[in-house]
Amino acid sequence: MTRAYLSIGSNIDPEAHVRAAIAALRTRYGALSLSPVYQTTAVGFTGDDFYNLVVGLDTNESAEQLAAACREIENAQGRLRGAERFSARTLDIDLLTLGNQIRDAVPILPRDEILKYAFVLKPLADLVPDDRHPVDGRRYADLWMAFAAEDTADTQGLWQIGLDLSAPAGL
């Protein structure tokens, strides 16, 4: 089994879609590790705030299989794919890392958004602070501290909310 980390985000009925994503991932992969949930302002467009978190899971699937599973879950939640990269969405699930794999082919690993966006790096640093970025080599906690300390750092309106996703849906 290989440990994978996924970034989950939603800004259309976000609590319902994030809960549905977690339930679908639990059904397919079993036990999950969950970061705190953060509310963030939309990046790249004007829109409702997002809920974002990072999920850890163990899998024997390839990067392509795991990315396809993420797309299936997104589609089941009404995800519409259009020409606009930055837009409102019911659900966005991105494969961040799969073990220490480094890939230039799609899906690219590790995903470059880890080092670009607070809404990806902060929950990852919360979940696995001592794990190291496969390319950069620094611990995620150290990457977050450096990111947050930059004079030009844009923490993108990031704040932790008290959404508890630890119990399976319906309990």
Active site residues: 79, 89, 92, 94
For 116-119, the CB contacts below 8 A with 24+ separation are 117/43, 117/156, 118/40, 118/147, 118/148, 118/153, 118/154, 118/155, 118/156, 118/158, 119/7, 119/9, 119/38, 119/40, 119/43, 119/50, 119/52, 119/156, 119/158
Question: How many C-beta atoms lie closer than 10 Å to residue 2's C-beta?
Answer: 16
CA 17: distance to chain centroid? Answer: 13
Check residue 125 and give left, alpha or beta (phi > 0: left; psi -120 to 50: alpha): alpha
Q: Which residue has the tokens 């620094």?
A: 138
